[in-house]
Structure formats: structure tokens, C-alpha cells
Amino acid sequence: MELVNKHIINQNDSVRESLIKLDQLASDAILFVVDSNLTLLGSLTDGDLRRGFIKGLGFEDPLTSFIQKNPKYIRYNEYSMEKLEEYKAKNFKVIPILDEKNQIVDILNFRTRSTLIPADAVLMAGGEGKRLRPLTETTPKPLLKVGGKPIIEYNIDRLKNIGIKNIHLSVNYLAEQLVEYFGDGNDRSLNIKYVKEDKPLGTIGSILLVDNFDHEDIIVMNSDLLTNIDYADFFKTFKESEADMAVAATSYHVDVPYAVLEVNDSNGVKSLKEKPRYTYYSNAGIYILKKDVLKMIPKDQFFDITDLMDRILEMNLKLVTYPINGYWLDIGKHEDFKKAQEDIKHIRL
């Protein structure tokens, strides 16, 4: 709530107090005037105060005499990315997010958040990381540090920067360390919850342990990845394709050092390719899926994400891929961990 508190002021506060807060906000200088329940009453800028003084208002007049009474806002869980792009195009910088009671629950600052994706997130963080032993003997792999910061924290911070507030961590091995490190997320302006398997449920089965999702779309990802994937474009592609599930993919190139002959059934040569390069796409461990897709996952059974993909295809639903054009690294082995320590010096996550 720190960002919210910076931008709100109670209707009973003084004009002088509003000037002090506006001065502290500098380039983000806009306040939202609220009542004691955080119900939005209007917006207030330096310009609103100046116009009020010109009209004869003074420092002893109530703030509500100066405000713009119909400011733009976003309704929590009812907005679209298209609407956000419209606000950005019109040079809106700071917009309040309201619940159904018109109470401010968050603030969107386009300077610090490029977008606000209407989705929940689930991070799979329960693996033992056996291939990284002895590093993971006393530390869960997601908490191993790359560049002085836990791997999983890069992912959580990037999700926060695109407006994801509800993050669920699926934990198991050394789970108490993850809970202790992140807590409930309140100090990060996040809502972090945990689910823990009583038995192995595969790479997606534990998602059914989540009590409730606020949004209709869910981002699911492995927690031991380093990536600067463009989540906004990924989500936009998912929505525009009207898919039921989207899978982020990384490219893998195979260079054949010889000429390759393509032949028909009777061994006749159809074509000749000199030292061709073949490009394949592999699962990057990041997904977006509709909440309805969860109905296809059996309860209390081992079920992998690839099983879900197969089921979606069997049901003739739509599964699409999204190529990651930026950085991506799956930290599974010691050489990957060593590479990450070098890469983090040169990439921005």
C-alpha cells in the first residue's frame, strides 16, 4: 500500500498538506482525495489548486472545493489492456484502481509499470534441484542467488512490474525457507499464498490446491528460470489468438555439416540442401491458460503440463506457442548456474 498512500489524501486534510504531498511526488504529482473508507471523491493536481486560488478559494477551504470530481479510473478485474493502451496514448501517467465500492485498492503508474495484465500467477517452486547439489542440500533451488538475488525473486519482481498482484507458490522441498523469505507479500504490495503437495502431483497437478483465482486467465511458470520475456506481448498474443492455452517456446538450432538429400519413397532425390540449419522450438516452462482449462486436470493425481497439452489437443481446443525473442535460461545444472552468474552482468531482467 506504500504507493497508494503516496497518492491519496483525506478530504479533511488541509490545502497546505496537499501542497506538501504534491511537492514530494515531483513528476508524479497527482493526489486522489478520499473519505475515511478510501472511497474516491476526486483528483487533485497543482493546476487544480492554482485554478482554485484564482477563483478566490484559500488555504482554509476544504480540499473538495478544489478537486476534479470525475477522474479517470480503472475497475479492478474489469479492465482490458486495450483500455490501458488508450490511457497511455492520451498521456495519463497515474490512474487509481477501484473495487466495486469505489474504494482505491491500487495505483497504476505508467512510469514504473508498462502495463497491468489481468491475470493471476502460479510459480512452481517445489523441486529438490538434485542436479545442483550440494548447493541445494540446505537451500531450495529457487532461493539460490544469481547476482546477489534469488532466482525466483527476479520472476516475482517482473510479474509485479506488469501488475500481477496475486501470486501462488507451489512449494514442497524446504518450503519453510520460501515462506519465511516472501511471507504474505504485503511488504512488496503483493498477495502471496502457498500450496504444498502431500504427494507428488506432477508439473501442473498442484495448481488445483489453489483455493481461488480472481482472474479468468492464469500465468503458470517454473520458478528456476531467468528470462526477460515480454509478458505484455505474450498475453496480448494469447488473447488475440483466442487460445485456451499458450506455451512460451525457445528456439533450438541444429546445423548439419553436410549436404542433405531429400528423397521420395523410391529413393529418388527430390532436392539437395547444402549444410542446412533446422530450427526447433522447445517448451520454455512459461504458460498462460484459461481458468476453465483447470477442469481437465484430475484431482489428487500426478499430472504433468504436457498431459494437459495433450488433453487440450484431444478436445480440439486451441493451443498456441509464443517464441521468446529475448533472454531465457533454465537453471537446471551447475554449468547453467555458472552461466547465469555471468549473464546477469550483461542483461536486464
Res 163 pLDDT > 70: yes
54 and 189 both lie in a single domain: no
The structural domain count of the chain equals: 2
User: Please, which pLDDT band fits residue 161 given cuts at 50, 70 and 90?
Assistant: confident
Whether omega before 134 lies within 30 degrees of 0, making that bond cis, reads yes
Domain boundary among 48, 79, 109: 109
55 and 105 both lie in a single domain: yes
- Among positive and negative, which fits the CA dihedral 44, 50, 51, 53? positive
In a domain, 188, yes or no: yes
Q: How far apart are CA 73 and CA 308, in angstroms?
A: 38
What spatial distance separates the first Cα and last Cα of the chain, rounded to whole Å?
24
73 and 150 both lie in a single domain: no
Domain boundary among 86, 109, 132: 109
Is the pTM value of this prediction over 0.85?
A: no
Res 334 pLDDT > 70: yes
Strand segments, DSSP code E, in the chain are 8-10, 31-34, 40-44, 74-75, 94-98, 104-109, 120-125, 145-146, 149-150, 166-171, 191-196, 217-222, 225-227, 245-255, 260-263, 269-273, 277-290, 319-323, 328-330
Kindly state the average pLDDT of the residues 255-271: 73
Res 1 pLDDT > 90: no
How many other CB atoms are found less than 10 A from the CB of residue 148? 7
Domain that holds residue 74: 2-109
Is-contact 247 320, C-beta < 8 A?
Answer: yes
213 and 146 both lie in a single domain: yes
Q: How far apart are CA 202 and CA 221, in angstroms?
A: 13
More confident residue, 81 or 54: 54
How many other CB atoms are found less than 10 A from the CB of residue 327? 16
Q: Which helix (H) or strand (E) holds 310?
A: helix 305-314
Res 255 pLDDT > 80: no
Res 126 pLDDT > 90: no
Residue with cell 481446443: 317
The contacts of residue 79 (CB under 8 Å, 6+ apart) are 116, 118
CATH of the domain at 82: 3.10.580.10
- pLDDT of the residue at 3: 66
44-53, 263-272, 327-336: least confidently modelled range: 263-272
Task: Tell me the average pLDDT of the chain.
Answer: 88
In a domain, 299, yes or no: yes
